[in-house]
Each structure stands twice: as structure tokens, then as C-alpha cells.
């Protein structure tokens, strides 16, 4: 994920422009701008789609839907992406840094993944993270549910 300009955690993304040939091409452009990733090297396909939902925001009336994609990469590619992140066009302004998600729970039953879920996320980015972890098979629904159960955010809802 990434730390955003507003102090919240979110994913790379943005508005699909008329010039973009497809949703996937628009996301590729945003990946280049926000993460320094060459879309030719990391092409997105429809199979990487995780979820879509209606979007309503007074300040962005032209945006009608939120499309979320997850691309699986190797550990070596992650290292390359991290090394490149500082060269992204929007690094230091919109994007303040790449953030790894701790996917473990420590012996106290809370620190690690459940504690990470208590961060401040933009929009529905927390739910998007959970959806992506299930869709990619990184975590089971049961593992997600038990982490959510001990996270504090779920008690405040």
C-alpha cells in the first residue's frame, strides 16, 4: 500500500481519463505516476480485477465507480518496485512512501496484521485490502475474520 499526502493509507490509483484506452490502461498510467512502475513490464488484465462499486463524492461528481485491481508479483519484483518508488512522478507530494502489510499476528494476538488494520485508511481501502488478500489466496476468509475480530476498528463501527 502507500502512505498518502493526507496521512491515510491507500492504494495507487486515480481518475480514468478520456484519453485512457481502457480502465486497465488508466490504472497503468496511474501506477507509473504514483509508483514508478512501467505498465509495459507490469501489464494489468481483466483477470486482475478484484471488485467494483458505485462511487459518490461531492468534490468528484464525474467519478461514478471505483474499480480495484490486484496484481501478483514475485518477491524480486517487489524489491524492484520498492527501489523504484522514490523515482515516481508523484513521490514526495501525493505519495509519501510504499508500505508493506504485515501478514502475521504476533503472540499477543493483536500486533502485526490486526494492529495494521487499525490504521487510518482512505475510503474503503481497508476492505479492498481484505478482498485482495482473499482473492489472491494469500489469506483465507477465516484468517481475515479472526484478525478483524481482534482489531479495534471493528468495535468502533
Residue (of 134, 87, 93) closest to 3 by Cα position: 93
**Residue 16 CB, nearest distance to ligand IDP (Å)?**
11
13, 26, 36, 114: which one contacts ligand IDP (CB under 6 A)? Answer: 13
Nearer to ligand IDP, 66 or 139 (CB): 66
Distance CA 74, CA 52 (A): 25
14 binds ligand IDP (CB under 6 A): yes
Instruction: Please compute, for residue 38, the number of CA atoms within 13 A of its CA located in the half-sphere on the CB side.
Output: 4
**Residue 11 CB, nearest distance to ligand IDP (Å)?**
4
125 binds ligand IDP (CB under 6 A): yes
**Residue 25 CB, nearest distance to ligand IDP (Å)?**
17
105 binds ligand IDP (CB under 6 A): no
103 binds ligand IDP (CB under 6 A): no
71 binds ligand IDP (CB under 6 A): no
**Residue 108 CB, nearest distance to ligand IDP (Å)?**
29
Give Cβ neighbours of residue 62 (< 8 Å, ≥ 6 apart).
15
Q: Could you list the residues that contact ligand IDP (CB under 6 A)?
A: 10-11, 13-14, 57, 60, 66, 122-125, 128
Amino acid at each position: 500500500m502507500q502512505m498518502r499526502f493526507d496521512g491515510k493509507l491507500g492504494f495507487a490509483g486515480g481518475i480514468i481519463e478520456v484519453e485512457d484506452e481502457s480502465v486497465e490502461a488508466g490504472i497503468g498510467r496511474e501506477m507509473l505516476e504514483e509508483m514508478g512502475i512501467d505498465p509495459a513490464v507490469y501489464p494489468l488484465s481483466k483477470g486482475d480485477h478484484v471488485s467494483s462499486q458505485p462511487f459518490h463524492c461531492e468534490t468528484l461528481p464525474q467519478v461514478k465507480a471505483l474499480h480495484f485491481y490486484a496484481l501478483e508479483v514475485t518477491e524480486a519484483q517487489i524489491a524492484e518496485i520498492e527501489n523504484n518508488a522514490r523515482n515516481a512522478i508523484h513521490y514526495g507530494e501525493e505519495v509519501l512512501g510504499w508500505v508493506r502489510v504485515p501478514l502475521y499476528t504476533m503472540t499477543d494476538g493483536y500486533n502485526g496484521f490486526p494492529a495494521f488494520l487499525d490504521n487510518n485508511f482512505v475510503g474503503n481501502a481497508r476492505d479492498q485490502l481484505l478482498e485482495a488478500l482473499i482473492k489472491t489466496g494469500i489469506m483465507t476468509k477465516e484468517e481475515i475474520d479472526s484478525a478483524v475480530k481482534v482489531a479495534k476498528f471493528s468495535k468502533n463501527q
